[in-house]
Structure 1
Amino acid sequence: MTRIQSDTLLNLLEKLNISESQVSEDELSSTITYIIKACRVPPLQNKDVPYTASDFEGVANNAEIQLNVILKIIEKICFAKRHEQHFTPLFIRNVVVNCLLVACEFIDENWEWCNKITAAASANVITKLCDVCNCKSAQQLLNCSPTETVDKSSHNNGTPVAEKENALYYIKFILQKFSELFNKNNWKLYPSLKMSYWWILQHLNQRTLGEHLSYLLPPALFILDDWEQQNKILGIRCLFYILKTM
């Protein structure tokens, strides 16, 4: 993060502490972009060498800071919505998609790049994203149909219902974004994305799996078709979950 970006972030955080102040979508969007980039688990140096916790030294400590900034931003969005500041569907969608994906990278304290603090912070981020979307759980957020995820608080803000429904069907956009990050050629460099996929997959129901199988099946096959035993086992678990749920 550059000096200018750091100053911008500090200014925004000061504004977030003023409960009465409104914040612009542009400010929030650019800040979230900076923070998420800084928060993500870095790629491995050599994809052909099995990784250990020593490959991720310092990652969890850095993520603790970034995840708490993300949480503060989402809390501000929730506060603003409760006080009738309206955000565009595209802005909310981008917040949900990007913040959920980065939180998924740290959601399990047993992963080599995580600890209890990052797991708790990630869970808090996901819970607060559910609040933004008027959902009760991650399962509901990831499995709702378009009509189930319409933001009831914004029915009268002049946005057509059809536009709201399309914008708030988040799982499609989450999986589209994930497929941009995770593909056949690079997946072994990003073990955190491999585990994020497994976490998301376990929260999907039969309908969602069926509707988005074209996004969900390839990662399982990438993981299965690998020489490392732990990846083969994970790939089998992913395929078994898909077959069992379908």
Structure 2
Amino acid sequence: MELGGLVRALRAEGPRDGEQPPPRALPPAEEILLQLGPLISEGAAPVRDLGALVEAAQGQWLFGGLSPATLGELVAALNDYAAPPKQEQDAADPPSKDGADAATAERAAEVGSVLLHLLAKLEAAKTQESLGVPVVGPILSRVMGPIYIFAATHIEERPWTNARSQSVAQELLALLVQAGGCGTVAEFLRGKDEDEEGRFAAVMGLLKQELTKDTWKRNPATKHVFSWTLPHVTRPWLSHYLERVLPPSLLISDDYQEENKILGVRCLHHIILNVPAADLCQFNRAQVVYHALYNHLYSREAPLIQAVLRCLLDLLPILERAQRQQTQGRPASPCDEVLRLVLTHMEAEHRLALRRVYARSLPAFVQRLGILIVRHLKRLERVILGYLEVCDGPEEEARLGILETLQCTIEHAWPRMPCRLPVLLKALLRMIWDVHTDHGSTPELVKAALLQGATECLILLDHCSGGQVKVLLEGVYSSCEENRVWECIRKVQENT
């Protein structure tokens, strides 16, 4: 039977005026789908024909006697048809392909429409007496993984998507979650409770072949599907899939392109936060992750350094706990190693973006080391003095971060502060004067925050030096004519 005639016949299958029309001799659905499958890659016409066929067909004809494998292969063919153009594995600068990406978005919208009709038919077939869950369940299990990957590929703004394809993908994902009996994407992937297995294993099984060293860059969507999916699987479920998610995260983070490095580091960070420390330390996994992150600290890109430092701050406690269990005493820790390298880079750094990233991260390292920060005081002092001298723009993020670092350092290493009082006092007073005389674009709120931070540092220095700051500032306090500067000194003098 010709396809157009078949669609008309299927549409005539429905009841009219309460009467069932006489049955027609229709070919088996599996035979038709097997014929359509290989044609999908040839153009849009077979996809439209398939959409019309699925929309017109009754559930009994479409799914009765249909092999789940056949429908799974058909959905996979649709997925391939709507996939972004393949790239060369080592192409550093792929050629512009705006036209190809626009065509991909249109194909995705058409395929998404077909899959929406298919899922709606499967949902309706669950309630039919002749089909029900025993027939529909295996088919759904087979097609849910490929449909999810299609939706995740096109759900966010990418070069190969447009508003229509994103909208279809969002609608499709919502219907897929509903068909799985779940309320959220996270439940769909991980299961509703710890004892229930979700579809994450099936999704990773489909992605496995595309997440190898030789294949992961050929499909530009693969890394985004993986990185979009991973955050939905959290503790305690993620530990069950550690062997599946850790290698691709390391692989993506080890790329030469900054975008991929950041993507991989974010995936590693999610794993660190959601996998028990014991599992991470097993087989030396935590050390492998640490060395991968540590190598990124030699980068000159601020977004990457920021992502790496955040990730390391959550990984270091795990490494140090394992180290304490293996050794006695207080040997140099990974935190010492990281801070030593960061301070070395900070001393010579002149790019404001990197100075801000380093300065924002430094207080957390001081807090992490506590009294052991005394191991780094000489170099840390040079960094603090150098950063207090330089204005870094309207928001003064570097100076504010360094003032917070100085406060933490005084609180933790106060016995070592009196000998450093002359240089620190001079640097803080110079900064207060610079802020007071600054007539640039720095907002008043930022200036107030800088002056407040400097004042708190002076008060802490006074406490740990037995009141020496009050004595040294006495002459300035009695003769200062600048209100802002005088107010800062007054707070120090009157503090008890």
What range describes the TM-score normalised by the shorter chain of this pair? 0.7 to 0.9
Aligned to 2:233: 204
Question: In structure 2, which of residues 73, 78, 81 is the aligned counterpart of residue 38 of structure 1?
Answer: 81
Quote how far apart the aligned CAs of 1:17 are: 2.4
Match of 1:185 among 185, 192, 214: 214
Match of residue 69, structure 1, among 102, 107, 114: 114
1:113-169 deviations in Å (ceiling 9; x for gaps): 1122212211111111112111111111011068976xxxxxxxxxxxxxxxxxx74
Contact 1:201 1:238 in 2 (8 A): yes
Give the superposition deviation at 1:12. Answer: 6.8
Matches within 5 A, 1:151-230: 169-230=198-259
1:160 is matched with which residue? none
Q: Does 1:114 align with 2:161?
A: yes
Indicate how the Cα distance of structure 1 residues 40 and 230 shifts in structure 2: closer, same or farther if over 3 A, else same.
same
Could you tell me which amino acid in structure 2 is paired with residue 83 of structure 1? Answer: Q
Shift in Å, 1:190: 1.5
Partner of 2:176: 129
How many pairs does the alignment contain?
227
Task: Work out the CA distance in 2 between the residues paired with 1:63 and 1:8.
Answer: 11
- SS of alignment partner, residue 201 of structure 1: helix
What's 1:47 paired with? 90
Amino acid at match of 1:143: R
Answer yes or no: is the 8 Å Cα contact 2:54–2:114 preserved in 1.
no
Q: Distance in 1 between matches of 2:265 and 2:140?
A: 35
Q: In structure 1, what residue type is equivalent to 2:39? A: T
* SS state at 2:182 partner: coil
Quote how far apart the aligned CAs of 1:228 are.
Answer: 0.6
Q: Which runs of 5+ in 2 are unaligned?
A: 1-37, 276-496
Give the Cα–Cα distance (whole angstroms) in 1 for the partners of residues 47 and 117 of structure 2.
15
Structure 2 vs 1, CA of residues 142 and 56 (structure 1 numbering), >3 Å: closer, same or farther? same
The answer to whether the Cα contact below 8 Å between 2:51 and 2:117 also exists between their aligned partners in 1 is no
Flag the 1:21–1:12 CA change in 2: closer, same or farther, 3 A.
farther
Quick check: 1:16 aligned with 2:63? no
Find the residue that maps to 1:206 and give its secondary structure: coil
Among candidates 32, 39, 61, match of residue 2 of structure 1: 39
Q: CA deviation at 1:19?
A: 4.9
RMSD: 2.8
Counterpart in 2 of 1:105? Answer: 153
What is the TM-score of this pair, normalised by structure 2?
Answer: 0.42
Deviation at 1:60, TM superposition (A): 0.8
CA distance in 2, matches of 1:173, 1:141: 11
CA contact (8 A) 1:146 1:169 kept: no
For residues 8 and 67 of structure 1, the distance between their equivalents in structure 2, rounded to whole angstroms, comes to 10
Cα deviation for residue 18 of structure 1 reads: 4.4
Q: How far apart are residue 212 of structure 1 and its match?
A: 0.3
Please, which moves more after superposition, 72-81 or 50-59?
A: 50-59
